[in-house]
Amino acid sequence: MAEEETPAPAPVTSADVARLAGVSRATVSFVLNGTPGHRVGEPTRARVLDAARRLGYVPHAAARSLRAGRSNLVLMPASVSAIGRLVSEWVDDLYGELERHGYTAVLHAGRFADPVDAARAWAELRPAAVIALDGDRLTAGAADLLRRAGVRGVLAFASGPVEGVHTVGFDHARIGAAATEHLIARGRTRIGVVLPRERGLGALARPRLAGVESVAARHTATVTPVELAYTRESATGLARRWRGLDLDSVFAYNDEYAALLLHALRAEGVAVPDEVAIVGSDDLVLSGLQQPALTTIRLELPAPARIADAVHELIETGGAAPVPAMEAVLVHRRSS
């Protein structure tokens, strides 16, 4: 399928456009990038646009932002696989809303142990704003670095306020808490909590576990973390040693892990919900179709347009109106 490549020619520059149009580079920059302090007549403008079109010249967003002192880039740090089925359409819609405001949205997938290292890598691209889905990893120091680099807005989904960040309430602990309140109301007292082994999910799983623990502590229920990789082998292994764990219920991180564990338990003859009640999260389409149908948590996220408006406001004015927090609503079905 691969063919021989021709060596890359020298890129077309604004100097080439200037030469072809018979004008100065400053004039080209004025016409194409909107740099201030310059006036040109309509025929000159037309000549520049025609030359740019004929040469296939594309203005450089970075050069434009360097001159204008403004970028139109909105950066969202996140790994693709951690986004998950539920949030992926929401993210796509958010990208669409940002485009409507004239921004270019990009996802930055770099992995960093230190929040300031992460902020430095994002700042190198000089975005106008950063939207952090996993805002509990943002620190005041990271936000400060971003601001010093000219990032005008930082919006983050986080469980609590972060200095210099416009936070939207998004507390994973509430998901675990809602599941646990339901299980305890159904008479269950020995609660397992699935911790996914997949990388990138630990940061989301730990607060869910903490939410389970805080509710269980108020009701003298026990909490047992159980590790599970998203593979048949791991689920089968867990199902085989299930009865030894002596648990009457499990909060399974999300609906995908819940469905995986449900099928593995049934294959080993463990009765759901009689022997073990299962609660997932995210209310995926498939959850209601499992046998038995999965009890789950429905996450009500703020409208993408609302987030895009807040980001635009942050960029334009440095502040924005509060955005309503995420809600976690239990959906009771047959698995609990």
Q: Work out the angle at residue 169's Cα, subtended by the Cα atoms of residues 166 and 173, and round it to the nearest 5 degrees.
A: 140
Backbone φ and ψ of 326, nearest 5°: -65, 145
Examine residue 9 and tell whether it contacts a second copy (CB under 8 A): yes
Among 224, 246, 322, 329, binds a second copy (CB under 8 A): 322
Number of chain residues interacting with a second copy (CB under 8 A): 89
By CB under 8 A, residue 108 contacts a second copy: yes
CA-to-CA separations, 192 to 85, 195, 197, 216, 261, in angstroms, rounded: 24, 10, 15, 11, 12
Site string for a second copy, 171-210 (x = CB under 8 A): -----------------------------x----------
Positions 256 through 275 that interact with a second copy (CB under 8 A): 256, 259-260, 263-264, 267
Q: Please identify, using beta-carbon distances, which residue of 104 and 214 lies nearer to a second copy.
A: 104
Q: Which is nearer to a second copy, 171 or 248 (CB)?
A: 171
Exactly one of 222, 289, 300, 329 binds a second copy (CB under 8 A); that residue is 289
- Binder of a second copy out of 23, 31, 105, 205 (CB under 8 A): 105
What's the length of the chain?
A: 336
Q: How far is the CB of 135 from a second copy (least distance, A)?
A: 10
What Cα–Cα distance (Å) separates residue 52 from each residue in 57, 63, 76, 281?
5, 16, 32, 52
Footprint of a second copy on 13-52 (CB under 8 A): none
b/e map 18-41, b = 16+ CB within 10 Å: bebbebeeebbbbbbbebeeeebe
Q: Which is nearer to a second copy, 41 or 160 (CB)?
A: 160
**Cβ(331)–Cβ(293) below 8 Å:** no
CB 35 within 8 A of CB 68: yes
Cβ-based neighbours of 312, under 8 Å, separated by 6 or more:
101, 103
Nearest 5°: the CA angle 21, 38, 58 is 45
Q: Which stretch binds a second copy (CB under 8 A): 188-196, 201-209, 246-254, 283-291?
A: 283-291
Tokens of 172: 């994973």
DSSP class of residue 289 equals: G
For residue 277, the one-letter residue type is A
Closest distance between a second copy and the C-beta of residue 317, in Å? 8
Residues 216-255 that bind a second copy (CB under 8 A): 230-232
The residue range among 35-43, 57-65, 178-186, 211-219 that interacts with a second copy, by the rule CB under 8 A, is 57-65
Q: Indicate the Cα dihedral angle 169, 175, 177, 179, nearest 10°.
A: 160
Q: Does 60 bind a second copy (CB under 8 A)?
A: yes
The verdict on 63 binding a second copy (CB under 8 A) reads yes
Give the range of 21-29, 176-184, 212-220, 288-296 binding a second copy by CB under 8 A: 288-296
118-177 residues in contact with a second copy (CB under 8 A) are 120-121, 123-126, 144-145, 147-150, 152, 158, 160-161, 164, 166-169
- Cβ-based nearer residue to a second copy, 161 or 269: 161
Q: Which is nearer to a second copy, 222 or 231 (CB)?
A: 231
Minimum separation from the CB atom of position 50 to a second copy (A): 16
Distance CA 315, CA 75 (A): 13
